[in-house]
Amino acid sequence: MELQEVLHMNGGEGDTSYAKNSSYNQLVLTKVKPVLEQCIRELLRANLPNINKCIKVADLGCASGPNTLLTVRDIVQSIDKVGQEEKNELEHPTIQIFLNDLFQNDFNSVFKLLPSFYRKLEKENGRKIGSCLISAMPGSFYGRLFPEESMHFLHSCYSVHWLSQVPSGLVTELGISANKGIIYSSKASPPPVQKAYLDQFTKDFTTFLRIHSEELLSGGRMLLTCICKGDESDGLNTIDLLERAINDLVVEGLLEEEKLDSFNLPLYTPSLEVVKCIVEEEGSFEILYLETFKVRYDAGFSIDDDYQVRSLFQVYCDEHVKAAYVTFFFRAVFEPILASHFGEAIMPDLFHRFAKNAAKALRLGNGFYNSLIISLAKKPEKSDV
Amino acid sequence: MELQEVLHMNGGEGDTSYAKNSSYNQLVLTKVKPVLEQCIRELLRANLPNINKCIKVADLGCASGPNTLLTVRDIVQSIDKVGQEEKNELEHPTIQIFLNDLFQNDFNSVFKLLPSFYRKLEKENGRKIGSCLISAMPGSFYGRLFPEESMHFLHSCYSVHWLSQVPSGLVTELGISANKGIIYSSKASPPPVQKAYLDQFTKDFTTFLRIHSEELLSGGRMLLTCICKGDESDGLNTIDLLERAINDLVVEGLLEEEKLDSFNLPLYTPSLEVVKCIVEEEGSFEILYLETFKVRYDAGFSIDDDYQVRSLFQVYCDEHVKAAYVTFFFRAVFEPILASHFGEAIMPDLFHRFAKNAAKALRLGNGFYNSLIISLAKKPEKSDV
């Protein structure tokens, strides 16, 4: 199966769907919001062509479920808030928003939420129906999505760490893995594997920057948030916990070793320096803002959530309740790609083990997601200056 | 339930889905194609802003299934053919296409077809990946869909005969129907019912013209195809056949009379004169071309199709095979709205009776769909001339 066909969040609205398991992402959005507002503020001051009439925006890797529209809401609110600050005008410019994700993404479920979303936007934000136009543009964001110089602002949260493909050469023709027992580019991976992943990320992120710079108007903005490398002191990240769970299944004879060895995630956790270096090297964008932040695995968890009820695990201590929360979120993101390689049948056992590992990490106080946020402005064309 | 929630074609890819039952529509598209080409020819000659760089197009009421992309293919081919005629250029302008239908439409199934569609377009038409950008804009086409003066060409096939709502006042507060035993504005409807339907169509079509004229650039084109009134000699149309089937169910005690009396389709079959008059009255558009055409119910039927195999009806004569074909197509379009009112359970019986009625009409040689095609150009703003 093509990577694009398995790389999507769990669809629908069931207990393991992405739609029902994204409080963590909501928390990240609150971290992103001040930077988003500042980004929009600078964009509106830059006075790009047509921006006062209709501002054109896209969310790249929008996924499905309530977060998709929370991002849209944040963008709309930021535009309206800044617009009023700057001009004291009550008239809102039209906003045309394109939601982008892969062809297999569950757009239908997002579209069904739109009528009530539009009504809410009108009631709470005074945004008249028809003044915010939400459309979808399916396809890989490593390819062209929009006409040349047509967009004002591109946003992407937790997507650009997904590679366009697993780096080639990780498994030899004879089926021998260069990354034995490991499922991504981790500290434990041999240097050639780490290099192959870095090369793939460099290639993909360079393509991403080049293509989307072509789509943006000169002076247009891009705001990206993605996972990134943590500190030495952070201990294991969630991918490590998953890797450990898979290894345990192999050791206990429940999964063939060959299955593990032939699996590598199309995902890379870059360091801040790597991201900075690629942007500078590619050359289309100026970096306006760059920071990293840490969020605990169980951030966004609240005892009021019904994760406890929905949990399949016996609740015998607080870490386990929180671990169930972490697992539900993680599963919503990773299950499709894992199930397509390891099979549906092993998923409950795999995520049960993942949850136990997550509980241990939480008990040790070292369960963190490390994220990076970068705000970019498209440099003027040489002919513009 | 809101009308917008039940008014959609049968989704998915099953035997009664719209996706599998649209050979008839394909035939109509071949009727539309020469007019489409002429429309595009005039549009490209009119030299609208930005049109040589990126031509912006929408298909309003795109439905789901292969026809959705056949329409897109026809539009792309027309643009490329005319572009080459006019300028002998090998360079294709980018085409940005918006597929529009109601929020409940099955867009996911269309998106899943896009990767192979793009590859085919590249192979057969030399359209490089990324030079044709297909997005979706969900929502009612009786509301704003696109930014002001942003579009070059709007296309709609077999959609504008759907009203935004059933005309009000057809059933009194006491539940007494003004259109007893009838399910739309037919020849047999009392004059006040016919007037209520005409008023609703006039209101809706006027709104449609006004809103989409705002979205079009001055000189932009709109090409609409819809069903229309037939001649006296045409006999019963398919809605009449459906109405007769429902009445038979009532007579035989299989359906409550109240159910029939409280049902009216949100659909109107206008005459050519009515359409012409509304366009002139609304005033934003100039009529470039207007014609009606007839297509037999069983047009597009071929014995090679697997309708015979898929038919639930016993095949005992040719009309019945053709009637099964007609029924499959009709069912794909009308089942959702009928099932939401009359219940799922009665659907097989209802369509069985419909098929028998259709076979009779075909035997008498008077089964026709009457269609109308109108090509419009947005008049220049007063300030433009």
Express each pLDDT in A109-139 by its tens digit. 999 999 999 999 999 988 999 999 999 999 9
SS3 assignment, position B148:
coil
With an 8 Å Cβ cutoff, are A108 and B112 in contact? Answer: no
With an 8 Å Cβ cutoff, are B136 and A136 in contact? Answer: yes
Distance (Å) from the C-alpha of residue A65 to the closest C-alpha of chain B? Answer: 14
| Torsion sign across C-alpha atoms B281, B285, B289, B294 | negative
Question: A221 - beta bridge partners?
Answer: A153, A377
pLDDT tens per residue, range A46-97: 889 999 899 999 999 999 987 899 999 999 999 999 988 876 555 689 999 9
- E-assigned strands of chain A? 54-60, 94-100, 132-136, 151-157, 216-227, 285-296, 368-378
Interface of B with A (CB under 8 A): 4, 53-54, 94, 96, 98, 103-108, 111-112, 114-115, 129-131, 133-139, 143-148, 150
Measured CA to CA, the distance from residue B136 to residue B114 in angstroms comes to: 12
What is A55-80 written as a DSSP string? EEEEEET--SSHHHHHHHHHHHHHHH
With an 8 Å Cβ cutoff, are A115 and B4 in contact? Answer: yes
With an 8 Å Cβ cutoff, are A144 and B136 in contact? Answer: no
pLDDT at A303: 44
Question: Which one, of B155, B170, B41, B32, lies nearest residue B99 by Cα?
Answer: B155
Measured CA to CA, the distance from residue B260 to residue B246 in angstroms comes to: 7
Measured CA to CA, the distance from residue A323 to residue A331 in angstroms comes to: 12
Q: Which helix (H) or strand (E) holds B291?
A: strand B285-296
Considering only the beta carbons, identify the residue of A94, A144, A146 that sits closest to B148. Answer: A94
Q: Which two three-digit tokens encode residue B305?
A: 């199709």
pLDDT tens per residue, range B190-213: 999 999 999 999 999 999 999 999
Measured CA to CA, the distance from residue B133 to residue B97 in angstroms comes to: 6
Q: Which helix (H) or strand (E) holds B24?
A: helix B23-45
Question: Which one, of B100, B99, B103, B98, lies nearest residue B4 by Cα?
Answer: B103
pTM greater than 0.80:
yes
pLDDT of A226 > 90? The answer is: yes
B339 phi and psi angles, rounded to 5 deg: -65, -35
Among B69, B94, B111, the residue to mutate for chain A (most A Cβ within 10 A): B111
pLDDT at B171: 85
Among A111, A119, A122, the residue to mutate for chain B (most B Cβ within 10 A): A111
Q: Which helix (H) or strand (E) holds B56?
A: strand B54-60
Measured CA to CA, the distance from residue A98 to residue A136 in angstroms comes to: 5
What does DSSP say about strands B54-60 and B151-157: parallel, antiparallel, or unpaired?
parallel
Is B371 assigned to a binding site?
no
With an 8 Å Cβ cutoff, are B107 and A103 in contact? Answer: no
3-class SS shares of chain A: helix, strand, coil, % to 5: 45, 15, 40
With an 8 Å Cβ cutoff, are A115 and B103 in contact? Answer: yes
Distance (Å) from the C-alpha of residue A181 to the closest C-alpha of chain B? Answer: 34
Task: Give the CA count within 13 Å in the CB-facing half-sphere of A39.
Answer: 30
Residue B213 contacts residue B150 (beta carbons within 8 Å): no
Residue A20 contacts residue A332 (beta carbons within 8 Å): yes
With an 8 Å Cβ cutoff, are B135 and A138 in contact? Answer: yes
SS3 assignment, position B262:
coil
SS3 assignment, position B129:
coil
Considering only the beta carbons, identify the residue of B98, B108, B143 that sits closest to A135. Answer: B98
Residue B14: which pLDDT band, with cuts at 50, 70 and 90?
low
State how far the alpha carbon of B31 is from the alpha carbons of B34, B143, B275, B364, in Å: 7, 29, 20, 25
With an 8 Å Cβ cutoff, are B147 and A111 in contact? Answer: no
The 8-class DSSP code of residue A213 comes to H
Chain B contact set for A96 (CB, 8 A): 146-147
Residue B184 contacts residue B250 (beta carbons within 8 Å): no
pLDDT of A314 > 50? The answer is: no
Q: What mean pLDDT comes out for the span A322-339? A: 88
Q: Which two three-digit tokens encode residue A20?
A: 């029902």
With an 8 Å Cβ cutoff, are B135 and A135 in contact? Answer: yes
With an 8 Å Cβ cutoff, are A137 and B133 in contact? Answer: yes
A285 CA to centre of own chain: 21
Q: Which two three-digit tokens encode residue A92?
A: 């809102």
Question: Which one, of A13, A21, A10, lies nearest residue A327 by Cα?
Answer: A21
Measured CA to CA, the distance from residue A197 to residue A270 in angstroms comes to: 10
SS3 assignment, position A35:
helix
pLDDT tens per residue, range B145-160: 999 999 999 999 999 9
With an 8 Å Cβ cutoff, are A148 and B111 in contact? Answer: no
Minimum mean pLDDT among A59-68, A351-360, B84-93, B312-321: which range?
B312-321
Residue of B nearest to A5 (CA): B112
With an 8 Å Cβ cutoff, are B133 and A148 in contact? Answer: no
pLDDT at A114: 97
A187 CA to centre of own chain: 22
Residues in chain B: 385
SS3 assignment, position A372:
strand
Considering only the beta carbons, identify the residue of A96, A135, A138 that sits closest to B114. Answer: A138
Question: Which one, of A275, A158, A143, lies nearest residue A205 by Cα?
Answer: A275
Residue of A nearest to B137 (CA): A135
With an 8 Å Cβ cutoff, are B107 and A133 in contact? Answer: no
Considering only the beta carbons, identify the residue of B112, B135, B150 that sits closest to A136. Answer: B135
pLDDT at A90: 53
With an 8 Å Cβ cutoff, are B143 and A129 in contact? Answer: yes
Residue of B nearest to A145 (CA): B133
Q: What mean pLDDT comes out for the span A365-373? A: 86
Considering only the beta carbons, identify the residue of A96, A112, A139 that sits closest to B147. Answer: A96
Distance (Å) from the C-alpha of residue A147 to the closest C-alpha of chain B? Answer: 7
Contact residues for A173 (Cβ-Cβ < 8 A; gap 6+): none
The 8-class DSSP code of residue A170 comes to S
The 8-class DSSP code of residue B149 comes to T
Considering only the beta carbons, identify the residue of B53, B130, B146 that sits closest to A133. Answer: B146
Is B263 assigned to a binding site?
yes
Query: Where do the domains of chain A lie, and which CATH numbers do they carry?
Result: 3-301+310-378 (3.40.50.150)
User: What is the residue whose two structure tokens read 């990320």?
Assistant: A201
Interface of A with B (CB under 8 A): 4, 53-54, 94, 96, 98, 103-108, 111-112, 114-115, 129-131, 133-139, 143-148, 150
Question: Which one, of B250, B294, B60, lies nearest residue B157 by Cα?
Answer: B60
pLDDT tens per residue, range B353-369: 999 999 888 888 777 88
- Geometric angle at alpha carbon B97, from A98 and A67, rounded to 5°: 20
Long-range pairs for A86-89: beta carbons < 8 A, 24 or more residues apart: A86/A41, A86/A44, A86/A45
Is A198 or A332 the better-scoring residue by pLDDT? Answer: A198
Measured CA to CA, the distance from residue A87 to residue A52 in angstroms comes to: 11
Minimum mean pLDDT among A156-165, A301-310, B36-45, B257-266: which range?
A301-310
Q: Which two three-digit tokens encode residue A290?
A: 């760059």
Chain B contact set for A143 (CB, 8 A): 129-130
- AA letter at B216: L
Q: Which two three-digit tokens encode residue A328?
A: 């539900």
Is A71 or A384 the better-scoring residue by pLDDT? Answer: A71
Chain A contact set for B94 (CB, 8 A): 147-148
pLDDT at B304: 42
Distance (Å) from the C-alpha of residue B64 to the closest C-alpha of chain A? Answer: 12
- Geometric angle at alpha carbon A355, from A352 and A357, rounded to 5°: 115
Residue A307: which pLDDT band, with cuts at 50, 70 and 90?
very low
Q: Which helix (H) or strand (E) holds B223?
A: strand B216-227
Is B317 or A60 the better-scoring residue by pLDDT? Answer: A60
With an 8 Å Cβ cutoff, are B114 and A96 in contact? Answer: no
pLDDT at B240: 93
- B318-342 and B347-363 helices, crossing angle to 10°: 140
Report the b/e string of A165-176 with b at 16+ CB within 10 A: ebbeebbeeeee
- As annotated, the binding site of A includes 18, 62, 67, 101-102, 140-141, 157-158, 161-162, 179, 238, 261, 263-264, 369
B280 CA to centre of own chain: 22
Considering only the beta carbons, identify the residue of B114, B130, B138 that sits closest to A103. Answer: B114
